[in-house]
Chains A and B, each alone.
Chain A
Amino acid sequence: MIPADFRYLFPSSVDEAVRMLAEEGEDAKIIAGGQSLVPVLRMRLAAPTALIDIGGLTELTGVRDDGDSLLIGAMTTHYEVQRDHLVQDHALLLRLVTDTIADPQIRHRGTFGGSLCHADPAGDLLAPALALDAVMIIAGPGGRREVPAAEFFVDYFTTALAPDEILIDVRVPKYTGWRAHYEKLNRVAQAWSIVAVAATVQVRDGVISAARVGLTNVGSGPVRAVDVEAALVGQPTSAISEAARLASSGDGYKDNLARVLTGRALTAAVG
């Protein structure tokens, strides 16, 4: 790998990282697990003047219980998310999605926050973050602020994060006891999804009491299938196939996949 020249900085606290980012200016980049940024550097599609490596900030790793929600540190690796009991118990959808990300090597390096900040609409974590009403906790020169997922993902590879800000934590409300499934269609194991559907549902006495459905790679960012969710509430699970048709109205290939995979994701979730 022969990237362009850059300065390498290794902060020891979030505040130091924020300060460095301010000092280095707009052409500096935060590097987390490097699973998206390194290929970009390798191909010289970007040439940041400085890389601020937040890999040493242990305060940003791990999952904490915060009452009604979980706090997932931005530097928590996919592998750690996969194995975390809090995630398993309270955000099953996230674990199932994470299981499908790339391959074991990448899951050991790539981070939860890094994937969200890269904001590739084909990335697996965007749709569940949106569907689960995750909230991004962001550090910047002015202190901390919180941005809901629905406002965080702005466009292809673009988030609400300002150039001088760092994502530090992600708050995910607890979905304790909800069933979940991630239905992903890709051509080879390490390829991005053509389309994928993240679904989680609460079923009580055979009736769907709540549902969250997020679509991967059908637009410039994650898409929440609100019509599908609304059509399911108060319905028996047999209503799934009808509701899934509301995932998309077009007649293209991806529209078809959105409908088919939504039906399959929901069916597998309640099954």
Chain B
Amino acid sequence: MTATAESEVGKARLRKEDARLITGQTRWTDNLQLTGMLHMAVLRSPVAHARITNVDVSRATAMPGVALVLTGEDFAAEQGSLPCAWPITEDMKSPAAPAIAVDQVNFAGEAVAVVIADSAYHAADALEAIDVDYEDLPVVLDMEEALRDNDLVHPDLGTNKCATWVFDSAEAGSGTNVEDEIAAAEVVLERTFKQQRLIPAFMEPRSVVVDVTAGMYTVWSATQIPHILRWMLSAVTGISEHKLRVIAPDVGGGFGGKLQVTPEELLCLLIARRMGRPVKWTESRTESMLSAHHGRDQIQKITMAARRDGTVTGLKVELLADMGAYLRLVTPGVPILGAFMFNSIYKFAGYRFVCTNVFTNKVPTDAYRGAGRPEATFAIERMMDELAVELGMEPMKLREMNWIKHEEFPFTTVAGLTYDSGNYEAATARAMELFGYDELREEQARRRAGGDVVQLGIGISTYTEMCGLAPSRVLGALRYGAGGWETASIRMLPTGKVEVITGTSPHGQGHETVWSQIVADRLGVPFEDVEVLHGDTATSHKGMDSYGSRSLAVGGTALVHAADKVLAKAKTLAAHMMECDEADVEFASGSFSVRGTSTARTLGDVVLAAHVAHDLPEGMEPGMDADATFDPDNFSYPHGTHLCATEVDTETGLVKISRYVAVDDVGTVVNPLIVDGQVHGGLAQGIAQALYEEATHDEMGTLTTATFADYLVPSAADLPAFLTDRTTTPATSNPLGAKGVGEAGTIASTPAVVNAVLDAVRHLGVRDIDMPMSPERVWTALQGREDTGAGEVAAGGLGSIDAQGGQA
């Protein structure tokens, strides 16, 4: 076995996944073809709230190739309710969540009938022949209106209020009473921000195939969570868990959008059980936008108390969070993940967070990249700029005087979290230098003085976030339904090759590459000799999957522990083989040697000896495999400083980002190339919220942004060349020192952009502009006119489209 000369950790390796993905040598769920496979198409409600008075499937049933047409009635006895794993309060209202509507639809896009046919074409054709009669009910779309309970989404619940969740630093003992801080404050600012609804827009549409053979159910799904899905499908259907196998093959992106137990997964399973034949469903893009869960959608009322010298003293957060029509897997908990982050890196004396979750007749919301934390970061970073304006202070100086100093770590915040490490001064200094902060401020002053058509603005976001989800005891305290540990196994094969099994479920992140680097480094084996197995509950029998920037900090740590177990056992055997005391054995570069001698055995020699088991120490089991499960005792806290310069064309309202600097501290980096990729993609998604993306509905509740012609996802052509750099303050909560990077860019960037745009036009009398800051919104604000809330004039595009005919 060859020893690796240079350290794998820290090496910018190209991803081992890429060749097969780029050349199509892979298997997406939709590529699967099974003998006798049937295809499901879903008829979706075109109306947002109605009673179903009749469904006539007779014409559809007679169409060519159609095997069966089923309605909600047909599933009523067996479909149960889709799971919500996060009942945030004792008294949370939780409506039954059928996979297919039985007698009432509660959002436009909800399934009302399915066709099962011999081809996807025949199934889609037959959808058009199903006649559904709807009796309209009042549509509830606006959260504030919903809370008046005049019209109810779920009349049986008696209210549109789902739950109220409170954190109060005085009650928790982590700080003072915020009302006292507000009463005593020299300055009190109150602002309301709107977090628009977003669509996760993963690249690969969702797809499910279910096979049933000899009583064994195999579910392939484009999911982030094969392990959780297996558990939940078993719980909902009553199919024994050991008779269910879930496979997530290559999955093309998720961003939280595939952290779900979907109606279609359940329906395919029930249909396969009913028919005894394999069933496939693959959605179209429009179907995805109409029915897969959305993200964000909050109204944030923020009150900040401060002294005239700039010291912040109190923060009160009152949120309304739109649940949509049902509670999906973690819907009610998403805003709660933000509860601990509004105070961010600043030292507030008093803090209170009150979140009211509200039902509306819209697609359910759930996790979307950052999940609760981008919303919190946006609010606090906007408020810091508002306070700087109010006090006439330099916004970075104001932040600096309030943030936790590097020598104060570990620091327990007013929200009760203990930040283990960080250095905000270092990240900020590096960002200011890269950005040319002072020069840009001078340029800004020149343009203001000259009354230039294109004004310059500078936006700051000094963020932190919590990731590495999550300590199981914390999840328990938050009433979450599962743990936050992660698991890994290492199988040492007799030829010295290594199989790694992980409970994380990559869907674009590059775990195969990074996990290989960690193992190669730890065991001194070549990178190429490591194969990473994941996403199949038959090979990876337990795991908590991938979301919340957890995979490396939690799953990578489990892997390190498993590798250490292999080494510990190998060392004992090596000592036995070399007939020396174990204390004299050294391990380096994949080889065990006796200290001070030339006697050595490679790891491969030792593994083979363990495998043949001809001569093992007394009591040692044959083989050299190891399992480890790691439950973190704290979150990890990436942080950083993002600086954005925007040019705002005051005649057209167009915003252009002229410079973007991101200096992130994500702890120890295993693969810098992958980290850069995560940051770039994260920035694109955060910038998209600031400038481009918004899911909108008409007054009837129809989604008017159900295609990529109407829902504007930016491409590289729309984004600046990002200047990225890092500072490294290792996490102390795991041996890798890794903090997580999957969400940082998204969390940090949105307020940096919005602050920059406002900074460019504030001197022209603009106080705020809703996101996304479209040219029309910016121009309207510059005219001193009211934003009608209509957003951008539809320009071309496909506009509002008929929700019926899901496979369109």
Residue ranges of A at the interface with B (Cβ–Cβ < 8 Å)? 2, 4-5, 39, 42-45, 103, 120-123, 185-194, 217, 253-254, 256-257, 260-261
Please determine whether A260 and B775 come into contact, CB atoms closer than 8 angstroms.
Answer: no
CB atoms of B715 and A188 under 8 A apart = yes
Q: Quick one: which of A2, A103, A260 contacts B652, CB cutoff 8 A? A: A260
Contact code string B595-636 (vs A, CB < 8 Å = 1, else 0): 000000000000000000000000000000000000000000
A-B CB pair tally, cutoff 8 Å: 89
Partner of A192, one of B651, B780, B797: B797
Residues of B within 8 A of A121 (CB): 796
In the complex where A194-B793, A254-B793 touch, is A188 in contact with B652 (Cβ < 8 A)?
Answer: no
Q: In the docked arrangement, what's the CA distance between A98 and B779, Å?
A: 28
Complexed CA–CA distance, A2 and B205 (Å): 14
When distances are taken between beta carbons in the complex, the residues of chain B under 8 Å from A122 are 795-797
Greatest chain A CB density within 10 A among B124, B717, B795, B798 is at: B795
By the criterion CB–CB under 8 Å, are A185 and B121 in contact? no
**Min CB gap B355→A, angstroms:** 32
Closest B residue, CB atoms, query A124: B796
List chain B residues, Cβ under 8 A from A256. Answer: 651-652, 779
Given contacts A186-B795, A187-B792, A193-B796, contact A2 B284 (CB under 8 A): yes
Query: In the bound complex, do residue B715 and residue A189 qualify as a contact, i.e. CB atoms below 8 Å apart?
Result: yes
**A5-B121 contact given A187-B712, A187-B774, A187-B775, CB 8 Å threshold:** yes
Which 6 pairs, one residue from A and one from B, show the smallest C-beta to C-beta distance? A192-B796, A122-B796, A189-B717, A44-B808, A43-B808, A194-B795
- Evaluate contact between B807 and A2: CB separation under 8 angstroms: yes
Asked if B715 and A2 make an inter-chain contact with CB atoms under 8 angstroms apart, the answer reads no
A-B contacts, 28 listed (Cβ < 8 Å) = A2-B120, A2-B121, A4-B124, A5-B125, A43-B286, A44-B805, A45-B798, A103-B717, A121-B796, A185-B654, A185-B775, A187-B775, A188-B714, A188-B717, A190-B715, A190-B717, A191-B712, A191-B797, A192-B795, A192-B796, A193-B795, A194-B775, A253-B779, A256-B651, A256-B652, A257-B652, A260-B652, A261-B652
Give the shortest distance, in Å, between B539 (CB) and chain A (any CB).
Answer: 33
Closest to B651 in A: A260
The reply to whether A194 and B797 contact each other, CB–CB distance below 8 Å, is no
Q: Bound state CA distance, A261 and B775, in angstroms?
A: 14
B123 — nearest CB in chain A belongs to which residue? A2
Are A2 and B779 also in contact (CB < 8 A) when A44-B805, A122-B795, A187-B712 are?
Answer: no
Contact A123 to B792, CB < 8 A, known contacts A4-B125, A187-B774, A257-B652:
no
15 more A-B residue pairs beyond the given contacts A193-B796, A194-B792, with a C-beta to C-beta distance below 8 A: A5-B121, A43-B286, A43-B808, A44-B128, A103-B717, A187-B692, A187-B712, A188-B714, A189-B718, A191-B797, A192-B795, A217-B795, A217-B796, A256-B651, A256-B779
Interface check B713, CB cutoff 8 A: yes
Nearest CB in chain B: distance from A256 CB, A: 7
A5–B120 Cα distance when bound, in Å, is 12
> Does A188 contact B713, Cβ atoms closer than 8 Å?
yes
Query: Which of A2, A123, A189 gathers the greatest number of chain B CB atoms within 10 Å?
Result: A2
Residue of B nearest to A1 (CB): B284
Residues of B within 8 A of A (CB): 120-121, 124-125, 128, 284, 286, 651-654, 692, 707, 709, 712-715, 717-718, 774-776, 779-780, 792-793, 795-798, 801, 805, 807-808
**A227 and B774 alpha carbons, distance in the complex (Å):** 30
Which residues in A have their C-beta under 8 angstroms from that of B653? 253
How close is A86's CB to chain B, nearest CB, in angstroms?
Answer: 29
Query: A185 vs B778: C-alpha distance in the bound complex, in angstroms?
Result: 14
Residue from A43, A189, A257 within 8 A of B798 (CB atoms): A43
The prevalent SS among residues of B at the interface is: loop
Chain A hits for B713, CB < 8 A: 188
- Bound Cα distance from A234 to B120, whole angstroms: 64
CA–CA, A23 to B707, complex, Å? 35
Task: Tell me how far the C-beta of B285 lies from the nearest C-beta in chain A, rounded to whole angstroms.
Answer: 9
Report the Cα distance A122→B792, complex, angstroms.
14
A188: contacting residue among B120, B284, B718, B776, CB under 8 A: B718
Cα(A185)–Cα(B715), bound, Å: 16
On chain A, the residues within 8 Å of B796 by CB distance are: 120-123, 191-193, 217
Chain A residues within an 8 Å CB radius of B792: 187, 194
A123 cross-chain contacts in B, Cβ below 8 A: 796
Determine which residue in B128, B651, B780, B792 has the highest number of CB atoms from chain A within 10 A of its CB, and name it.
B651
Rounded to whole Å, the gap between the CB of A12 and the closest CB of chain B is 28
Residues of B within 8 A of A4 (CB): 124-125, 128
CB neighbours (8 Å) of A103 from chain B are 715, 717
Interface centre among A4, A186, A194 (most CB of B within 10 A): A194
B691 to chain A, nearest CB (A): 8
Closest Cβ of chain B to A65, distance in Å, is 33
A192 to B799, CA, bound (A): 12
**CB-based nearest A residue for B120:** A2
In the complex, what distance in Å separates the CA atom of A39 from the CA atom of B799? 13
Alpha-carbon separation in the docked complex, A35 to B775 (Å): 27
List of B residues within 8 angstroms of A45 by Cβ: 798, 801, 808
CA distance A132 to B638 in the complex (A): 57
**Which residues from A are CB-within-8-Å of B801?**
43, 45
Closest residue on chain B to residue A193 by CB atoms: B795
Q: CA separation between A91 and B434, bound complex, in Å? A: 45
A170-B730 Cα distance, complex, nearest whole Å = 66
- Please, how many angstroms separate the alpha-carbon atoms of A230 and B261 in the complex? 64
Q: Which residue of A lies closest to B708 (CB)?
A: A190
Q: Which residues of A contact B718 (CB under 8 A)?
A: 188-189
Q: Which residues of chain B are near A193, meaning CB under 8 Å?
A: 795-796
Choose from A42, A186, A194, A217 the contact partner of B776 (Cβ within 8 Å).
A194
CB distance from B110 to the nearest CB of A (A): 19
Tell me, rounded to whole Å, the shortest Cβ–Cβ distance linking A191 to chain B: 6
Min CB distance B795 to A, Å, is 5
What A residues does B652 contact at CB under 8 A?
A: 185, 256-257, 260-261
> What B residues does A39 contact at CB under 8 A?
707, 709, 798
Please tell me if the beta carbons of A43 and B793 are within 8 angstroms of each other in the complex.
no
A253 adjacent to B793 (CB under 8 Å): yes
The interface residues of chain A lying within 8 Å CB-to-CB of B774 are 187
Determine the distance from Cα of A191 to Cα of B692 in the docked complex, in whole angstroms.
11
Contacts of B286 in A (CB 8 A): 43
Chain A neighbourhood of B805, CB < 8 A: 44
Q: Say yes or no: A42 contacts B808, CB within 8 Å.
A: yes
Which residue in chain B gives the minimum CB-CB distance to A196?
B795
Q: Which residues of A contact B284 (CB under 8 A)?
A: 2, 42
Q: State A188–B688 Cα separation when bound (angstroms).
A: 10
CA distance A51 to B128 in the complex (A): 21
| A203, chain B: closest CB distance, angstroms | 24
Tell me the bound Cα distance from A190 to B714 in angstroms: 8
- A138: min CB distance to chain B, Å: 25
**Distance in Å from the Cβ of A219 to the closest Cβ of chain B?**
13
Chain B residues near A254 (CB, 8 Å)?
793
Instruction: Enumerate chain A residues within 8 angstroms of B780, measured Cβ to Cβ.
Output: 253
- Give bound CA distance, A44 to B125, whole Å: 10
Alpha-carbon separation in the docked complex, A191 to B705 (Å): 13
Least CB distance, A107 to chain B, in whole angstroms = 13
CA distance A185 to B120 in the complex (A): 40
Interface centre among A39, A44, A193 (most CB of B within 10 A): A44
Q: When A43-B707, A45-B801, A260-B652 are in contact, do A188 and B692 touch as well, CB less than 8 Å?
A: yes
Q: What B residues does A2 contact at CB under 8 A?
A: 120-121, 124, 284, 807-808
Question: Across the interface, which residues of B come within 8 angstroms of A186, CB to CB?
Answer: 795
* Closest chain B CB from A75 CB (angstroms): 23
| Cα–Cα distance between A114 and B350 once the two chains are bound (Å) | 64
CA–CA, A43 and B801, complex, Å = 9
A57 to B795, CA, bound (A): 33
B738 to chain A, nearest CB (A): 34
Chain A nearest CB from B671 CB (Å) reads: 30
Chain A residue numbers with a CB within 8 Å of B798 are 39, 43, 45
Give chain A residues whose Cβ lies under 8 Å from the Cβ of B714: 188
Residue in chain B with minimal CB distance to A183: B652
> Which residue in chain B gives the minimum CB-CB distance to A40?
B798
Q: How far does the alpha carbon of A151 sit from the alpha carbon of B759 in the complex, in Å?
A: 48
